[in-house]
Chains A and B, each alone.
Chain A
Amino acid sequence: MSDKIKISRKNVEFLKKIEDLSGEVIMRCDQCGVCSGSCPMISEMDITPSELMRKVQLGQEDVLGSKAMWLCASCFACTVRCPRGLDVSKVAEALRQVNLRKAIDHIDLKDIPDDEIKRLPQIALVSEFRKFTG
């Protein structure tokens, strides 16, 4: 089943917003797929990194509801390989920030079991909360 979409002013504005926030010229992505091929978290993702870029290029705001951007580990494997010189991790961050800046945290301390909190090194908790809270 494929949806029909229109590309309206609103879609273009969404693309511009993500381009500004990430500092990346997302329209330059030619969908080669190197980022997806390099991503360590891809098996968990609902859409691939290149698909994420594609949706942003088409200004599809529903990409904000995807799981993929929350699974990014900011490992920069995509960054060092993109033949167009784009930084996909920055695009993922921009998408996360759009959500987080609405004061909607992605994770809650309460959801982490006590024994995990005892086990986890501080660095894990610090980086997780910096990444996924507004």
Chain B
Amino acid sequence: MEDEGKDNIRIGVYVCHCGGNISEVIDVDELAEFGGKQPDVVLSKQNTHMCSDVGQQLVVDDIKEHNLDKVVIAACSPQFQGATFMRAVEKAGLSPYVVQLANVREQCAWPHYDFPELATEKAKGMLSAAIAKARFSEPLEKQTMPIGKRVLVIGAGIAGIQASLDLGDAGFEVYLVEKEPSIGGHMAQLSRTFPTEDCAACILSPKMADVPANPNINLFTYTEVDDIEGYLGNFKVKVTKKPTYVIQDKCIACGICEEKCPIKNIPNKFDEGLTNRRAIYTAFDFAVPGKNLIDPDTCLRLTKGEGVCEVCERFCPEDAINFDDKPEEEEFEVDTIIVATGFDIFDPSEKKVYGYDKYNEVITALELERMIVHSAEGNPIRDLGKKIGFIQCVGSRDEQIGREYCSRICCMYATKLASLLKHSNPERDIYIFYTDLRAYGKGFEEYYKRAQNLGVRFIRGRVAEVFKNSDSDKVTLKVEDTLTRMIIEDEFDTVVLSVGLGLSKSTDKIANMLRLAKSGDGFLKEAHPKFKPVDTNREGVFLAGTVQGPKDIPDTVAQASAASSRAIRLMNQGEYPIAPIIAFVHNDLCDGCELCVDECPVDAISMSSDKAKVNDAICTGCGSCLASCPRDALDLHLYTNKQLLGEITNALKEKKEGETKILVFADDTCTYRLADSVGTAKLSYTTDSIIIRVPSGSRVTPKLMLAALKLGADGIFIGECEENASPYPHSGGAIKENVAKVHEILRKEGVKPERVKFVQFVTVMLGGFVNNINGLASIAMEAGAIPQEKRDRLVVNINERLFGEKYV
């Protein structure tokens, strides 16, 4: 499938100015001229915006007019506009894989904007490398994989409910799994919602009722996800339905069992522990399913054994009690997954200075929501008194406890709670102590003003401490009113902590199972902060709701619909496109040694007629098998040995006398994106580096590293995802082994092994990337130039050194 034998390769080179982003730093004329002079290049042009219609049409026309086989574009990151140019060349009748991008924007002009001459020189090296990669590219066809119409939605709060309804209505089969006995999530606990003051239960209930009514939704409540394996189009899900001990079909929720149950004092989680429930209970009054269940930790019969109590069984008119209920395991397959596992509120016991654990008068906003609901229903839980203070930013915007982010909704929910308290008793004196009042959304500023009109007092100051003076029953709050610089120290009947949001604890298990990355703030990370807000780093897995970050209900619903739409986009046509990064075997080189078979982490290699054979459907394209082949028979489509070697050779060819050059092999999922982010943030690092894209660091075989050192590399850096963010979780181990082998050879030859380094990143470690690259370049520079004889010796007897005598 390669262009071997075809001497007459015709390459077109294009240098994009990117509206100044590139041309303001790099001398684009010089670059275009350089490109034009390279072997096999028949034309070299420039354009201000290659990605525009005009730019793309230029490429299409040139391919036809000049009979180009390969196209190289010096422009932005392939992760940014790669797909655009692939579509353009396809339009002209070529394979989308013969176009290569030299990333001279994110990885050259932007990080090196202070050094235009050096940047131009580096851009030449990058362009030359891209030309080599294009020269050896295979005109592969786009591949597709079949995909069904089944979706797993984890979490049935408002996000999960909305996503499931959207998907169900669109004709997709939904498996909605919720760990609590009822769907509804935290929204069911709220009293009213801002800024409209709608009753939360009233607007949520009909949505909740729609779920079991939808014929396409398979609802699993009180069910935990145990394991998820597989990939897009092929996820295998194992769940366990926890035993309810009440036959759900028979239960009519009459409530007699609850009346009779002798265990009365179990703190009710739905009410944040403010009220008690029985051992047999319903989750809440508008729960869906609205059935009873028995708590196995507190039920006398279930804890003490047969014959004890069993009152509910005696009195149940429908004979629905079943003490022999067992957990049920279920397995099903889905094509895409939406994670909507929501948030937990910040536990204010961590912020001891506000006295939540010590003083009854200090409550959380969620507890207040429940109190307001109970009050409205005529069952007040307690008298909140006349003077109430709200403390904002509890568990948010606080470096002392490691929660630096803003939780987004607290300013508004405090305004809402204060307004509700004022409505129910205008005599109340209510204060909100804030640092900034964030009323950014639709109707928010107006709502804030209405609250001010009602007489809610907003005081700008972050509360320093809440305590009780020994001569008083009430809590005292101390704060500086920063606008007048006066210190307020005053007593309150009730202090409400506006607690922030954090990722729900139960999400960790799911995130680990699915190997999803987390952002710096601890929430699950979206694939791209601007353009892919609901995708994750794993194909086919989407996020919806507060699991991705704090947000209010309208934003959650919007995200849920967005996630459904993204899932539908992949599934709707019955097949989806994949990049054919698949391992393959050069049969003429394979000698049947079978070393590769055990290396593959997904068991995609088997032997067939004494030759290794790769199963295309299973291969994930990590490239780790290549390091196990002594004959270089194993290769990887889109990142072939010829291509990578060509890139490396050309990148180093431009190296000048006395220069240091380090090669950075960046994995596509994390490190390459990280490098792009570093450039986008305009952080600076040494121009002595060139980044080479690989699907995974495990593609970088010891032979490749040693060849690079021979060809002039002074340092080699391999960057890979951290395990829990990587689509190739075994790569870390494989890369460590490869690097260790190279270190051993370097030591023997008297070359400083510190020149070859491997680091695992997550995509937020911008500073980490810069420091590592600069650090390695320093090490290489200090260690001095490696004499060519030493370089040459690194590749002598290489098979013997790497595989043993047997494989010489």
Q: Which of A6-20 contact B (CB under 8 A)?
A: none
Residues of A within 8 A of B481 (CB): 33
Question: Are A32's CB and B482's CB within 8 A?
Answer: yes
Question: Judging by beta carbons under 8 Å apart, are A84 and B479 in contact?
Answer: no
B353 pairs with A33, CB closer than 8 A = no
Is B57 interfacial (CB 8 A cutoff)? no
Contacts of A85 on B, CB cut-off 8 Å? 399-400
CA distance A80 to B351 in the complex (A): 12
Contacts of A81 in B (CB 8 A): 353, 400, 464
* B480 touching A48, Cβ below 8 Å: yes
User: A21 within 8 Å of B by Cβ?
Assistant: no
Contact assessment for B487 and A42 in the assembled complex, using a CB-CB cutoff below 8 Å: yes
Identity of the chain A residue whose Cβ is nearest the Cβ of B461 in the assembled complex = A33
- For residue B712, give the distance in angstroms from its CB to the closest CB of chain A: 42
Within 8 A of A (CB), among B391-429: 393, 397-400
Residues from chain A with Cβ under 8 Å of B353 in the complex: 81
Rounded to whole Å, the gap between the CB of B340 and the closest CB of chain A is: 30
Which of chain B's residues have a CB closer than 8 A to the CB of A42? 487
Interface residue A36 (Cβ < 8 Å from any Cβ of B): yes
The answer to whether the Cβ of B192 comes within 8 Å of any Cβ in the partner chain is no
Q: Choose among A36, A50, A85 the residue with the greatest number of B CB atoms under 10 Å from its CB.
A: A36
Task: Find chain B residues with CB under 8 A from A36 CB.
Answer: 461, 464, 480, 482, 485, 487
Partner of A48, one of B393, B398, B460, B487: B487
Contact mask A54-92 → B, CB, 8 Å, 1/0?
000000000000000000000000001111110000000
State whether A83 touches B463 (Cβ < 8 A): no
Instruction: Please tell me if the beta carbons of A34 and B399 are within 8 angstroms of each other in the complex.
Output: no
Interface status of A38 (Cβ within 8 A of chain B): yes
What per-residue 1/0 map shows which CB atoms of A16-60 lie under 8 Å from chain B?
Answer: 000000000000001111111110001100011011000000000
Query: Looking across the interface, which residue of chain A has its beta carbon closest to that of B462?
Result: A32
Within 8 A of B (CB), among A75-129: 80-85
CA distance A32 to B487 in the complex (A): 13
In the complex, which residue of chain A has the Cβ closest to the Cβ of B481? A33
B-side interface mostly: mixed
**Cross-chain contact B485 with A37 (CB below 8 angstroms):** no
Cα A35 to Cα B393 in complex, Å, equals: 15
Q: Provide the residues of chain B in CB contact with A30, threshold 8 Å.
A: 435-436
Contact A32 B461 (CB under 8 A): yes
Given contacts A50-B482, A80-B400, A83-B399, contact A37 B393 (CB under 8 A): no
- Please give me the residue from chain A that is nearest to B435 by CB atom: A32
Complexed CA–CA distance, A82 and B463 (Å): 11
CB neighbours (8 Å) of A80 from chain B are 400
Q: Which residue of B lies closest to A36 (CB)?
A: B480
List B contacts of A50 (CB < 8 A). Answer: 480, 482, 485
Q: Which residue of B lies closest to A51 (CB)?
A: B485
B397 and chain A: residue at smallest CB distance:
A83
B478 at the A/B interface (Cβ < 8 Å)?
yes
Query: Across the interface, do A37 and B461 meet the contact criterion of CB distance under 8 Å?
Result: yes
Please, which residue of chain B has its CB at the minimum distance from the CB of A30? B435
Is B478 touching A37 in the complex (CB atoms < 8 A)? yes
B439-482: CB near A (< 8 Å → 1, else 0) gives 00000000000000000000011111100000000000011111
Chain B residues numbered 700-744 whose CB sits less than 8 Å from any CB in chain A: none
Contacts of B479 in A (CB 8 A): 33, 37
CA distance A128 to B462 in the complex (A): 31
What residues of chain B lie closer than 8 Å to A35, measured between beta carbons?
464
Question: How many of A's residues come within 8 Å of B, CB to CB?
Answer: 21
Whether B485 lies near A47 (C-beta < 8 A) is: yes
Known: A33-B461, A36-B480, A37-B479. A82 touches B487 (CB 8 A): no
Which of B393, B397, B400, B462 counts the most chain A CB atoms within 10 A? Answer: B462
Which chain A residues lie closer than 8 Å to B393 at the CB level? 83
Residue with the greatest number of chain B CB neighbours at <10 A, chosen from A31, A32, A36, A42:
A32
Query: Are B435 and A37 in contact, CB atoms less than 8 angstroms apart?
Result: no
Whether the Cβ atoms of A82 and B464 lie closer than 8 Å is no
Asked whether A34 and B487 contact (CB < 8 A) given A80-B400, A81-B353, A83-B398, the answer is no
Interface residues of B in 479-523 (CB under 8 A from A): 479-482, 485, 487
Is the Cβ of A37 less than 8 Å from the Cβ of B463? yes
Q: Which residues of A contact B400 (CB under 8 A)?
A: 80-83, 85
Distance to closest chain A CB from B91 (angstroms): 51
| A80 CA / B398 CA spacing, docked (Å) | 11
- Whole-angstrom distance between the Cβ of A48 and the nearest chain B Cβ: 5
Given contacts A38-B465, A48-B487, contact A33 B482 (CB under 8 A): yes
Q: Within the assembled complex, what's the spacing in Å between the Cα atoms of A83 and B397?
A: 6
Kindly provide the distance from the CB of B797 to the nearest chain A CB, expressed in whole angstroms.
Answer: 55
Q: A48 to B353: give the CA distance in the assembly, Å.
A: 21
What is the CA–CA distance of A31 and B483 in the complex, to the nearest angstrom? Answer: 10
B477's closest neighbor in chain A, by CB? A37
B window 116-132: CB within 8 A of A: none
Q: Closest approach, in angstroms, between the C-beta of A92 and any C-beta of chain B?
A: 16
Closest Cβ–Cβ distance, residue B407 to chain A (whole Å): 13
Give the CA-CA distance A31 to B479 in the complex, in Å.
Answer: 12
Q: How far is the CA of A99 from the CA of B463 in the complex (A)?
A: 32
- Known A48-B480, A81-B400; judge A34-B485 contact (CB<8 A): no
* Proximity bits, B161-188, A CB within 8 Å = 1, else 0: 0000000000000000000000000000
CB-CB < 8 A to A43: which residues of B?
Answer: 487
Q: Which single residue of chain B is at the shortest CB-CB distance from A47?
A: B485
A45 CA / B576 CA spacing, docked (Å): 69
User: Whole-angstrom distance from the CB of A80 to the nearest CB of chain B?
Assistant: 7
Determine the chain A residues whose CB is within 8 A of the CB of B460 once the complex forms.
Answer: 33
Which residues of B are found within 8 Å of A37, using beta-carbon distances?
Answer: 461-465, 478-480, 487
Whether B399 contacts A84 by the Cβ 8 Å rule is yes
**Cα separation A36 to B485 with both chains bound (whole Å):** 9
Closest CB in chain A relative to B425 CB, distance in Å: 28
User: Given A33-B462, A37-B478, does the pair A48, B399 have CB atoms closer than 8 Å?
Assistant: no
Least Cβ–Cβ distance between B543 and chain A, in angstroms: 28
Cβ of A30 to closest chain B Cβ, rounded Å: 6
* Least Cβ–Cβ distance between B729 and chain A, in angstroms: 35
Q: How far is the CA of A83 from the CA of B479 in the complex (A)?
A: 14
Which of chain B's residues has its CB closest to A80's CB? Answer: B400
Bound-state Cα–Cα, A24 to B245, Å: 60
Interfacial chain B residues near A84, Cβ < 8 Å:
399
* B478 → A minimal CB distance (Å): 5
**What's the Cα separation between A33 and B479 when bound, in Å?**
7
- Minimum C-beta distance from B286 to chain A (A): 39
Residues of B contacting A34 with CB < 8 Å? 462-464, 480
- Please measure, in the bound complex, the distance between the C-alpha atom of A67 and the C-alpha atom of B481, giving whole angstroms: 20
* Separation of A31 and B398 alpha carbons in the complex (Å): 13
In the complex, which residues of chain B have a beta carbon less than 8 angstroms from the beta carbon of A83?
393, 397-400, 462
Interchain residue pairs with CB less than 8 A apart (18): A30-B436, A32-B482, A33-B435, A33-B482, A34-B462, A34-B463, A36-B485, A37-B461, A37-B464, A38-B478, A47-B485, A48-B480, A48-B487, A51-B485, A81-B400, A83-B393, A83-B399, A83-B400
Q: List the 6 closest A-B pairs by CB distance, nearest first.
A: A37-B464, A33-B480, A36-B480, A32-B462, A85-B399, A33-B461
CB within 8 Å of B: which residues of A?
A: 30-38, 42-43, 47-48, 50-51, 80-85
For the complex with contacts A33-B479, A34-B480, 12 further pairs of A-B residues with Cβ separation under 8 Å are A33-B435, A33-B482, A36-B480, A37-B461, A37-B480, A47-B485, A48-B487, A50-B480, A83-B399, A83-B400, A83-B462, A84-B399
